[in-house]
Chain A
Amino acid sequence: MIELVNVHKSFNDKKILDSVSIRIEKGETFVIIGQSGVGKTTILRHIAGFFDPDHGDVFIDSERMNGAGTGKKARLRERMGFLFQSGALINWLNVRENVALPLVEHKLGSISEINRIVDEKLELLQLLDSADKMPADISGGMKKRAGLARAIVRNPSIILYDEPTSGLDPVMSARINDMITRMKSELGVTSVVVTHDMVSAYNIADRIAMLYNGSIIECGTPEQIRGSSSPIVRQFIEGSLGGPIDV
C-alpha cells in the first residue's frame, strides 16, 4: 500500500505539488495522468524516496519513506521497481549486463542462477535477440523494455512506471499494457503508472487520477473519468484545443 498525505513540493519557489493526497491499495493499478511538466514524475520520485516533501508524508506499507535513513530507504526500495522515462540503462553495460546488474552487485545467486533469471525477464520483454547490444545502439522503445526488465528482475511488489508506453509503437504499447495487467493478476503487484496515453490508461487502470496545477482534480475508475463533468478533465481526455487548459 502506498500513501501520500498532503504532500507539498516546490522547486525554486515554484509550487509543483500543492497538497496531494493519494492512497493506493495493495494490488491496485493506479494511473496518474496530466500534462507534461505538471509534476507526475515528481510524485513517483516522492514514492521512491528521491524527494522528500516540503510538507506532508509518504508511506510505503505504513512505513514512512520521507526522512528515512539510507538503510531504511534501501530496504523500502528493495520492494520497488522503477521504470525511468528514458530507461536509464548504464551506458557501458549491454542489455543483459544491465538487467543482471542488481543481482550481480548484491551477489544474489550464482552465475548460472543469475543467467536463468535474466533470460526469463529478457524473454518476457522479447529482448533475447538484443541482449548483447549496447544501450546506444538500440531504439528508445527497446531501452524502455530493457529498463523494465531490470526493474522487475528482483520481483518487486511495487512497480513505478514513468511513461511506459510513450515512444512505443501501438503493438509494443499493447504488450507493455498486457504485462502491467499480468503482473497485477498473476503476482499481485501494485503499480503506479504515469502516462498521458489515454488508451493505455483506460486499458490498465483500476483508478485514474488527474493532476492539474499541483492538485489531484479528479480521481476515479476509468468509467468515472470517461464520464467526468470537469471541463479540464474532459479537455485532457478528449485532447481538444478549446477549454480551460492553457495551450
Chain B
Amino acid sequence: MPGNFRISYRRSFMNSVSALGSRLLYQVNFTGFTLILIFNAIIQMRHAFFKRREIIKQMYVSGVKSMVVCGIVALLGGMIFSLQIGLQLKTYGQSDFVPTMIINVMNKELGALLTGIILTAFSGAAMAAEVGTMKVSEEIDALEMMSINPVRYLVMPRMAAMMLMMPALTIYTVILGVLGAAVICYFQLGMSMESYFRRIVESIWFKDMYVCMLKSLVFAVIISSISCANGLKAGNGALGVGHATRVSVVSSLLMILVSGYFITSLFYGGFL
C-alpha cells in the first residue's frame, strides 16, 4: 500500500527531525548551564578562603596525583619529538636548532595541551564521576536541602584547585619535555649539555610564557566546569554516571583543542 508507506515514511522522517531538534535544544541548554556554572563558580571564589582546606585537598587530588603521569608523558614526548626533528635536521646539518624548536613548541603549544589532555583523562573524569555519583545518591539534593550551595561547596573548590594546579603542572611538563629532549640531544645528536641549555635559555620568550599560562588557565576552567556540569546533570543509576564521565571527557578534549587553536591564532596569527 503506497499511501500507507508514504505516511509512515513521512512520520519517521518527522520523528528523526524532532529527535535532532530536541538533541540540539538539549545541547544549547547544556552549554548555557555550563556557562552559568562557570560564572557562578567564579563569583563563589570570594569564599575561597573559607574553603581553603577543600581547595588544598582538591589540588592534591587533581594535581599532585597526576604528576607522575604528566612527567612520564612529558619526558617521553620531549624525547620522541626531539628524536624525530633531530634526525630530520641532521641530514641538513642543522641539528643545532633542535633546542630552539623544542622550547618553542613546548611553550607555545604542547606544554599546555599535553597537561590539559592528561588532566582531562585523570582529574576531569574523576571529577565527573564523583559529582555524578553524588547526584544519583541524592547527596546534591541533601546539600540543597541544607541550603548549601553546591556550586560553592563542590564546583568552586574544584575549579580553583584546577586553576592553581594547571599552570604549575604546565611549567613542570615543559621542563620535563626539555629534559627529555636534552637526553636525545646529548646521546643521539652529540650536542653538549652546556650548549643545549644555553640555546634553550636564549629561546625563551616572555610572550610565549604568558600565552602558555593563559592557555593553561582556560583549560583548567574548561575541564573543571565541563566535568562538574556533566556530573551535576547525571541521569539515574551507575549507567548515568558512566555516561556523564564519558561525555565530559570527550567534550573537554574537544573544547581544549578548539580553544587552544583560537588562543594560538589570536596571539600568533597576526591579530595581536
Q: Which of B133, B139, B147 contacts A89 (CB 8 A)?
A: B139
Partner of A50, one of B139, B144, B146: B144
Distance A80 CA – B146 CA, assembled complex (angstroms)? 9
Task: Give residues of chain B (107-137) contacting chain A, Cβ–Cβ below 8 Å.
Answer: 133-134, 137
Q: Which residues of A contact B146 (CB under 8 A)?
A: 77, 101-102, 105, 150
Report the bound CA distance from A178 to B153 in whole Å.
34
Bound-state Cα–Cα, A86 to B140, Å: 13
Contact B141 A84 (CB under 8 A): yes
**With a CB–CB cut-off of 8 A, which chain B residues contact A86?**
137-138
In the complex, which of the residues A45, A81, A88 has the most CB atoms of chain B within 10 Å of its own CB atom? Answer: A88
Tell me if B89 is interfacial: C-beta within 8 Å of chain A: no
Give chain A's interface residue range (CB within 8 Å of chain B).
20 to 34
Distance of B268 from chain A, by nearest CB (Å)? 43
In the complex, what residues of A have CB within 8 A of residue B138's CB? 84-86, 88
Residues of A within 8 A of B250 (CB): none
Min CB distance, B232 to chain A, in Å? 14
Q: Would you call A80 and B148 a contact (CB within 8 A)?
A: no
Q: Provided the pairs A91-B134, A105-B153 are in contact, do residues A74 and B147 lie with their beta carbons within 8 angstroms?
A: yes
Q: Which of A48, A85, A91, A106 makes the CB contact (< 8 A) with B145?
A: A48
Across the interface, name the chain A residue whose C-beta is closest to B147: A74
Chain B residue numbers with a CB within 8 Å of A151 are 145
Chain A residues in 8 Å Cβ range of B144: 50, 77
Give CA–CA (A90, B153) in the complex, Å.
11
Cα distance, A14 to B143, chains bound together (Å): 28
B139 in complex: contacting residue of A45, A85, A90, CB < 8 Å = A90
| Interface presence of A82 (CB below 8 A) | yes
Are B147 and A77 within 8 A (Cβ)? yes
Q: Is the CB of A84 within 8 A of B147?
A: no
Residues of A within 8 A of B137 (CB): 86, 88, 91
Write the B150-161 contact mask toward A (1 if CB under 8 angstroms, else 0): 000100000000
Asked whether any CB of chain B lies closer than 8 Å to the CB of A78, the reply is: yes
Give chain A nearest CB distance to B56 CB in angstroms.
14
Residue of B nearest to A153 (CB): B146
- What 1/0 mask marks residues of chain A from 216 to 246 whose CB sits below 8 Å from any chain B CB? 0000000000000000000000000000000
Query: CB-CB < 8 A to B193: which residues of A?
Result: none
CB distance from A14 to the nearest CB of B (A): 14
- Separation of A106 and B134 alpha carbons in the complex (Å): 21
Residues of A close to B133: CB separation below 8 A? 91
> Which of B133, B141, B142 has most chain A Cβ within 10 Å?
B142
Q: Considering the chains assembled together, what is the distance between the CA atoms of A77 and B143 in angstroms?
A: 11
Are A82 and B145 in contact (CB-based, < 8 A)? Answer: yes
CA A102 – CA B146 in complex, angstroms? 6
Q: Give every chain A residue within 8 A of B147 (Cβ-Cβ).
A: 74, 77-78, 102, 106
Alpha-carbon gap, A86 to B134, bound state (A): 12
Minimum C-beta distance from B19 to chain A (A): 14
Q: Which of B134, B141, B148 contacts A102 (CB 8 A)?
A: B148
- Chain B residue nearest to A154 (CB atoms) is B146
What residues on B are CB-neighbors of A101 within 8 Å? 146, 148
Contact B139 A88 (CB under 8 A): yes
| Chain B residues with CB under 8 A of A78 | 147
A88 to B148, CA, bound (A): 14
Query: Shortest CB–CB separation between residue B140 and chain A, in angstroms?
Result: 9
Write the A63-104 contact mask toward B (1 if CB under 8 angstroms, else 0).
000000000001001101110111011110000000001100
Could you say which residues of chain A place their CB within 8 Å of the CB of B145?
48, 77, 80-82, 151
Q: Which 8 A-B pairs have the closest CB atoms?
A: A88-B142, A88-B138, A102-B146, A74-B147, A84-B138, A82-B145, A105-B148, A88-B139
Pairs across A and B, CB under 8 Å, 18 listed? A45-B141, A77-B144, A77-B146, A77-B147, A78-B147, A81-B145, A82-B142, A82-B145, A84-B138, A86-B138, A90-B134, A90-B139, A90-B142, A90-B143, A91-B139, A102-B148, A105-B148, A105-B153
Which of A's residues lie within 8 Å of B, judged by CB?
Answer: 45, 48, 50, 74, 77-78, 80-82, 84-86, 88-91, 101-102, 105-106, 147, 150-151
Residues of B within 8 A of A (CB): 133-134, 137-139, 141-148, 153
Extra inter-chain contacts (20) besides given A86-B138, A88-B137, A106-B148, CB under 8 Å: A48-B145, A77-B147, A78-B147, A81-B145, A82-B142, A82-B145, A84-B141, A85-B138, A88-B138, A88-B141, A88-B142, A89-B142, A91-B134, A91-B137, A91-B139, A102-B146, A102-B148, A106-B147, A147-B142, A150-B146
